[in-house]
Structure 1
């Protein structure tokens, strides 16, 4: 093997190691414009941490106690970490005063989104991205958690719905599923959900496929019987 090939091999290993450590190079820190985006948050909640999923985004409102730093990172397929892209950051002091991005420092370090808050006690709020049928939110908060899914979405049917971690309570209020955990500690909360009509569509597809399958079996059975009769009539089936 030539030195050139060895060098190329080493470069490839270094590149792969870099991808594994940063999640394909990681993600840039949110821009000032993203951090300063307008958003309306519900500061009055029953849970210590709430995720309100609407469309393809979620709004997190979380109590922080005794810490001025929050770290947010998702795991990559290579076992590394990726920073979580957030926007519309706000912080509410214990006296009720709300400040925006100008008072909150957000950066990307060690493949994490690092948020330095203006006080160690208060409530931190931000917006993250969700899918059309799923949400995955790494959280760096302790206490009770609640996730509110978009209107009409459900998680009960195993093939289409899934929630992690387990141990949650589920209820439906105003056509929205509420998932509640009594206590979580720096957990990644994820949910896959569906519309009721998705089940009807799936059931219709399964029904059509079942009819086609049964029709195919009946057709081939009739075809085999017909061939057997033709053989008998032609005298091909007889004993010596």
Structure 2
């Protein structure tokens, strides 16, 4: 794995609060590896668009995939210039003044062009996508057949022109506001897995589902496995 730094370009150089910018690959990899979705901005004859799509990283490339009929993928496959972004929202920063309210985040921006992934590399990339969703899933799910693979476009973009930007910590209040009787601090946020929802009759519960359900309780995991726990009733109804 390359650890070669990414010197900022005119497009990736962070100018606003520049000390929050990072150009090392370790930070970029960490932000991308936590993402399930990216947003891709592109321009075609109908204007400029920004569309979310699933993504995963392998080495020094970010991968996306979709139907051959996707206008976004059709255009990206021609090598057109695009911009890909990933953002994780970590908290709402509550300041003593309205002006200084902010958000804690980790973000990545990638510029460049995609290339088509074909042949055996295409099938391997789709296996890697399933493994990104759940480790071991590619060995359990039916693999894509020739027709399904033929109907799917897989693209990748090199992590060559990229940068990350991170904000953390509390509010940056003015000294004159510090004595105001206003609550200040951070309201943390995170993406958290919820109770697994089974689809019909289920085989034994795979490890990645058990891991997904950590913290939701034994009864919830039993329900995900299609089992009934002694004394377990129906799941609670949402309050109205």
* TM-score bracket relative to the smaller structure: under 0.3
TM-score, normalised with respect to structure 1:
0.22
More strand by percentage: 1
